[in-house]
Amino acid sequence: MLNFKVDTDKCIKCGECAQDCLYGIIGMDDYPFIHEEKEEKCIGCQHCLAVCKTGALSILGKDPANSASIKGGLPAPNQMETLILSRRSIRRYKKEGVDPELIHHMLHVVDHAPTAVNQRQNRLTVIDNPESMDKLREQATAAALKVIREGNLPKGLERTADFLKGCEDGKDIIFRNAPHLLVASAPKDALAPMADCHIAMSYFELLANSHGLGTVWDGIAKAVLTMIAPELLELIGIPEDHTVVCVMAFGKPAVKYHRAVQHSDQDIHRAVI
């Protein structure tokens, strides 16, 4: 079932694959092997493939030669720190869209974000076409203004209403004129839908920023799409059995920041046991 193969010409019998297997599915004899009685416990994490120094091991039909090499490809710590420190929420965007190939490449990379027990049930739904985004913008804005004018705003959105009233002046308060939108959702019965979606969206945000794109965690858009006009979720393809966890608008920024901000350190407590 796991299509587990070992190239005996490459295997150096180090046992790293067996030691790193979470559920102890892999054993060591002369060469690594799968315990048949434990085979069904495999979660498909591919740690065994990744930890094999010589690329001797294949599982689930994956050829180690097709995996990205880690050596020399990681950012230096100071580069990673600068990326995190300089990240800004972007609320001013250029009208032009982002190359769809780049968007989908980024989403392919983000698909490697960790999920609970490697279930990978979360879903990222993207609007990669600015014209489609404009249609959603128009419908969402109309729906928001309608409930405000009629006094039917859902309970708990009183503060959001103050922002949404700005739409009456023709401003796009909901999506900030961003040409693209990303919606993270997961099945309601998923093991850890909130964590899975937030991790994936955080990965996307940092990756998008590294490509010179701007992003904003769009809580107002989430409120409109889930509490005011949920029919729009079906329009953009969110499954009925999914919970929308977070929404992010993104695109090419129309603003440039030149330095990081300065935050006072939050309380960090050293555990003493």
Predicted confidence band of residue 169 (pLDDT cuts 50, 70, 90): confident
Where, residue-wise, is CATH 3.30.70.20 in the chain? 5-66
Residue 54: its pLDDT value, please? 97
Predicted confidence (pLDDT) per residue in 140-158, tens digit: 999 999 998 898 888 888 8
Predicted confidence (pLDDT) per residue in 218-234, tens digit: 999 999 999 999 999 99
Predicted confidence band of residue 183 (pLDDT cuts 50, 70, 90): very high
Lowest mean pLDDT among 11-15, 69-73, 110-114, 130-134: 69-73
Where, residue-wise, is CATH 3.40.109.10 in the chain? 77-251
Which two tokens mark 121? 């049930």
- What does the alpha-carbon distance between residue 144 and residue 140 come to, in Å, rounded to a whole number? 6
Which two tokens mark 95? 């009208």
Q: Is CATH 3.30.70.20 correct for 5-66?
A: yes
Other CB atoms within a 10 A radius of the CB of residue 4 amount to: 20
Predicted confidence (pLDDT) per residue in 90-113, tens digit: 999 999 999 999 999 999 999 999
Helix axes 193-210, 100-110, angle to 10 degrees: 130
Question: Residue 57 forms beta bridges with which residues?
Answer: 6
pLDDT exceeds cutoff 90 at 170? no
Residue 20: its pLDDT value, please? 97
Residue 129: its pLDDT value, please? 96
Q: How many CA atoms lie within 13 A of 86 on its CB side?
A: 15
Predicted confidence (pLDDT) per residue in 5-29, tens digit: 999 999 999 999 999 999 999 999 9
Higher pLDDT, 266 or 50: 50
| CATH homologous superfamily for the domain 77-251 | NADH Oxidase (3.40.109.10)
Task: Report which of 198, 218, 203 is spatially closest to residue 84, judged by C-alpha positions.
Answer: 203
User: Which long-range contacts does 170-175 make (Cβ < 8 Å, 24+ apart)?
Assistant: 172/137, 172/141, 173/220, 174/137, 174/140, 174/141, 174/144, 174/218, 174/220, 174/221, 174/224, 175/133, 175/136, 175/137, 175/140, 175/218, 175/221, 175/249
